[in-house]
């Protein structure tokens, strides 16, 4: 188990190149199951979740190889339709293989993903959608057993705008007989990235980027090369890293449009932005103003930035609230932030942050990906030395985070430890 040692109180200044999107890659890579051939995904981040997805597809007979930031997948050898618990327990997004397996092979055995550190993660919408497409779904010994002679198009409405369910059903509908309409579809950029990749593979999809997707099923698809999105959540995390240290940063290789809500919120707090092409410059020369944030589906303020926002508001002069409407219990970062001297109260799905108290270094424990990011951000602003334990949580979704922070002026080092 590795830990990070951070000496806080240093202003971050400089430029950083943002890596490819974890969540877009985890949406796109399972599409290789829809067609035989060699796929190439450029701008793939070299992170633990990509290794997990690659091992899962490898266990199914595909061959995956990550050369730098290019992922090659040869799906010609796919001969197993099972996603075993050993992979799914490490990464919920393994569920994204379900739709492609049923659509292409007519069968799938995928472990139920279970919950995660910040609460239950149901998949009822995924399963109901597949049943509407004609699949028979059973649950046996913790596994989803799905079978379908041939999926047939259907009208599917999601009660909740779900990223994963939209991705799974979209990936299944492209090979179904007839037309499928999905209403209240998620419109996150990662969903649109998947839809564009499927169209490149020969799928017929209209309404991309809107909450109503219409898919006309085709007989077969073919392998393609694709360029992955930049990671908007990593970008937001680095913007907040600069702001929490009252620094100045240039993000390279981002899509500013995907960060509209985050930029607007940070401007409310006093951050100054300059957006030119694929770069974003941000500067903050005084403590941020205390500004409330409430998460919402895209294009709203992302739930994946809620923990980072709570950290930033610790340095504001005054109190404010962070409300998570997507995951009401996603506050595991709070008890650890209290160890750094924070004053935060959690009531229902809201954290009330009383900023302006000095933060001082301490040892803190990572729990989930974005909570761990929040701890790093607070440690950067705290006086003295902090230790962030179990950084494998961070390695799931942030490529070379300590090297990127170091090049911005942070004092951070990775240390191997026997601690569990």
- Does 162 contact ligand EPZ by CB under 6 A? yes
Say which residue the tokens 């390279």 belong to: 252
Cα angle value 257/312/260 (rounded, 5°):
10
**Whether residue 64 lies in the annotated active site:** no
Of the candidate residues 23, 31, 111, 315, the single one contacting ligand EPZ (CB under 6 A): 23
CA trace torsion 80, 86, 92, 98 (10° rounding) = 20
| Binding to ligand EPZ, residues 113-152 (CB under 6 A) | 121-126
Exposure letters 283-302 (e unless 16+ CB within 10 A, then b): bbeebbebbbbebbbbeebb
Cα angle 107-111-117, degrees, rounded to a multiple of 5: 145
> Considering the complex, what minimum distance in angstroms separates the CB of residue 10 from ligand EPZ?
26
Binding residues for ligand EPZ restricted to 205-244, rule: CB under 6 A: 233
Closer CB to ligand EPZ, 26 or 172, in the complex = 26
Measured in degrees and rounded to the nearest 5, phi and psi for residue 193 equal -65, -40
The tokens for 254 are 């981002």
Binding segment toward ligand EPZ, per CB under 6 A, in 136-144, 145-153, 156-164, 209-217: 156-164
The strand order across the sheet containing 350-354 reads: 293-294, 319-323, 350-354, 344-347
25, 41, 57, 93: residue in contact with ligand EPZ (rule CB under 6 A): 93
> In the complex, what is the shortest distance from the CB of residue 223 to ligand EPZ, in angstroms, rounded to a whole number?
23
Query: Between residues 22 and 48, which has the closer beta carbon with respect to ligand EPZ?
Result: 22
Kindly tell me which of 11 and 92 has the beta carbon lying closer to ligand EPZ: 92
> CB-wise, 88 or 123, nearer to ligand EPZ?
123
Residues in Cβ contact with 335 at an 8 Å cutoff, skipping those fewer than 6 apart? none
Question: Using the rule CB under 6 A, which residue among 74, 304, 399, 402 binds ligand EPZ?
Answer: 304
Q: What number of chain residues touch ligand EPZ (CB under 6 A)?
A: 26
Q: How far is the CB of 125 from ligand EPZ (least distance, A)?
A: 3
Q: In this structure, is the dihedral angle defined by the CA atoms of residues 192, 196, 199 and 204, taken in order, positive or negative?
A: positive
Stretch that binds ligand EPZ, among 132-140, 162-170, 280-288, 315-323 (CB under 6 A): 162-170
Decide: is 401 part of the binding site for ligand EPZ (CB under 6 A).
no
What distance in Å separates the CA atoms of residue 55 and residue 71, rounded to the nearest whole number? Answer: 13
User: Is 338 one of the binding residues for ligand EPZ (CB under 6 A)?
Assistant: no
Q: Which residues contact 202 (CB under 8 A, 6 or more apart)?
A: 35, 218, 220, 221, 222
Of 73 and 233, CB closest to ligand EPZ: 233
Q: Are strands 272-276 and 279-283 parallel, antiparallel or unpaired?
A: antiparallel
Binder to ligand EPZ among 164, 217, 247, 288 (CB under 6 A)?
Answer: 164
Choosing from 12, 26, 172, 389, the residue that interacts with ligand EPZ (CB under 6 A) is 26
Residue 287 CB, shortest distance to ligand EPZ, in Å, is: 27
User: Please, which residues bridge with residue 215 across strands?
Assistant: 180, 205
Summarize as ranges the residues that interact with ligand EPZ (CB under 6 A): 22-23, 26, 92-93, 121-126, 160, 162-165, 186, 190, 233, 303-304, 326-327, 369-370, 397
Task: Give the residue numbers annotated as catalytic, written as ranges.
Answer: 116
């Amino acid at each position: 188990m590795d830990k990070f040692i951070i000496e806080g109180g240093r202003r971050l200044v400089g430029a950083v190149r943002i890596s490819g999107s974890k969540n877009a890659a985890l949406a796109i890579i399972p599409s290789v199951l829809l067609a035989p051939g060699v796929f190439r995904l450029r701008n793939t981040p070299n992170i633990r979740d990509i290794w997990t997805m690659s091992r899962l597809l490898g266990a199914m007979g595909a061959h995956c190889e990550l050369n730098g930031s290019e992922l090659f997948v040869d799906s010609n050898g796919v001969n197993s339709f099972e996603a075993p618990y050993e992979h799914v327990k490490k990464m919920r997004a393994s569920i994204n293989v379900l739709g492609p397996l049923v659509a292409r092979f007519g069968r799938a055995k995928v472990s139920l993903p279970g919950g995660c550190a910040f609460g239950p993660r149901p998949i009822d919408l995924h399963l109901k959608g597949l049943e509407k497409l004609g699949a028979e779904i059973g649950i046996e010994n913790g596994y989803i057993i799905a079978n379908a002679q041939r999926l047939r198009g259907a009208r599917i409405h999601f009660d909740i705008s779900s990223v994963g369910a939209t991705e799974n059903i979209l990936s299944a509908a492209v090979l179904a007989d007839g037309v499928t309409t999905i209403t209240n579809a998620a419109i996150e950029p990662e969903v649109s990235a998947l839809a564009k990749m499927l169209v490149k593979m020969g799928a017929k999809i209209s309404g991309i980027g809107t909450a109503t997707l219409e898919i006309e099923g085709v007989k077969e698809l073919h392998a393609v090369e694709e360029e992955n999105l930049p990671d908007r959540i990593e970008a937001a995390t680095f913007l907040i890293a600069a702001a929490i240290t009252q620094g100045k940063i240039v993000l390279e290789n981002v899509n500013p449009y995907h960060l509209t809500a985050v930029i607007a919120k940070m401007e409310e707090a006093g951050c100054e932005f300059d957006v030119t092409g694929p770069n974003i410059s941000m500067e903050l020369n005084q403590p941020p103003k205390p500004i409330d944030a409430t998460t919402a589906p895209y294009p709203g303020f992302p739930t994946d930035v809620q923990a980072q926002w709570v950290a930033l508001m610790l340095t504001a002069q005054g109190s404010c609230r962070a409300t998570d409407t997507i995951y009401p219990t996603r506050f595991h970062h709070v008890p650890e932030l209290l160890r750094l001297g924070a004053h935060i109260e959690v009531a229902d799905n809201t954290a009330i942050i009383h900023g302006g108290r000095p933060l001082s270094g301490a040892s803190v424990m990572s729990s989930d990906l974005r909570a761990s990011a929040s701890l790093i951000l607070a440690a950067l602003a705290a006086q003295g030395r902090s230790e962030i334990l179990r950084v494998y949580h961070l390695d799931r979704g942030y490529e070379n985070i300590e090297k990127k922070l170091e090049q911005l002026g942070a004092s951070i080092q990775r240390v191997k430890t026997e601690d569990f």
